[in-house]
Structure 1
């Protein structure tokens, strides 16, 4: 052996690890550490990140991101006052086969999943979104699709894989992220989901 070291392999990043970074960036924006443009720029880099070592640099200068940089749960920074709770909450999995239903996504929901075949649901997110909140909808569809209603100010990030299909985000439904972020995921085949603008929650 020549004594040379084998280069260390880079580890692939998971969706959960990318979502952790997105949450930190939302909290930093809410606490005034990042302006809206910088938050969005870093979010885009996090969503495109393929390897674990690409993520810490995006939050390394933020107290909210100490636990991700140091890898120590004891270093988690306290959530700033007034920032929406971002603890994971699974909204469940539904199936729509030649049918669909109206679903009101409750506040605190972080993730929801659906498979639609010749059908789809109407998802109402007007009460689920808010500053500092990230909601992921994983919507698989074959010759179908769902309608998603969001309140003003929600940024929509489309990470779906589409074949002869695609999601449609109405122009007035694409917000600046000041009212949270909606992430769309899933496999679409001859299908697509529509995101449209609704009103804010009652009493807002």
Structure 2
């Protein structure tokens, strides 16, 4: 039987508990988690905790859930890997698929990326945003995980949470945003998800 995200998360929790009890080391945890998140079948998960005390129920397949977010958002044909605004503007929003790696570059111009109606080619995607004497705005919905690690040099690279929502569950898509704001700015806005609007796609 194919393993679901819920199956993998339940086994991961068993491993975290084993770490807290001193049964495995941090290195063993990392190695086993790599196996867990790469597992395609439920049977591949069982050997990971074979030497640990756990209930068999934790390793059985999770009950079938009603389809819905976040699982349905992962997958699809990746959209453009770049958005470039040089003395002009670039927009990526509406119904599109964020590729595993997307690079956004703005020089004397601007770029806008909106993920509130987007899908994600992989569970983890990365956006590299570079703004030089320009600006890039990235809007992410509050039902995905976002990790912002960019650098501002004579500029800014900031995350502004305007949603007031708690962190998304670990099974939700994760978007890592890195890059540089040099005499320019990159602003990441976390806002409430809006998935009822009609899709629209603009590109430059």
The answer to whether the superposition gives a TM-score over 0.5 is yes
Structure 2: stretches of 5+ with no match in the other structure: 17-27, 42-63, 199-204
For residue 194 of structure 2, what is the aligned residue in structure 1?
200
2-side partners of 1:93 and 1:112: how far apart? 6
List structure 1 runs of 4+ shifted beyond 4 angstroms. Answer: none
Residues 1:177 and 2:177 aligned together: no
- For each residue in 1:48-92, what CA deviation from the matched residue of structure 2 results, as whole angstroms up to 9, or x when unmatched? xxxxx99634423556289xxxxxxxxxxxxx9853444782522
Where do 5+ consecutive residues of structure 1 fail to align?
1-26, 42-52, 67-79
CA RMSD of aligned residues (A): 3.9
- Distance change >3 Å, CA 32–CA 203, structure 1 → 2: farther
Q: Is the 8 A contact 1:142 1:190 kept in 2?
A: yes
**TM-score, with normalisation over the residues of structure 1?**
0.55
Q: Relative contact order (alpha carbons < 8 A, sep ≥ 6): 1 or 2 greater?
A: 2
* Matching residue of 1:64: 39
1:22-171 equivalences under 5 Å are 30-34=5-9, 56-62=31-37, 64=39, 83-84=71-72, 85-86=74-75, 89=78, 91-104=80-93, 106-110=95-99, 111-129=101-119, 133-171=123-161
Q: TM-score scaled to structure 2, two decimals?
A: 0.55
Rg (Cα) greater in structure:
2
Q: Distance in 2 between the 1:32 and 1:142 partners?
A: 44
Q: How far apart, in 2, do the equivalents of 1:54 and 1:88 lie?
A: 33
Checking the alignment, whether the CA contact within 8 Å between 1:59 and 1:65 is kept in structure 2 is: no
- The alignment of Structure 1 onto Structure 2 pairs a total of residues equal to 150
Deviation of residue 152 (structure 1)?
2.0
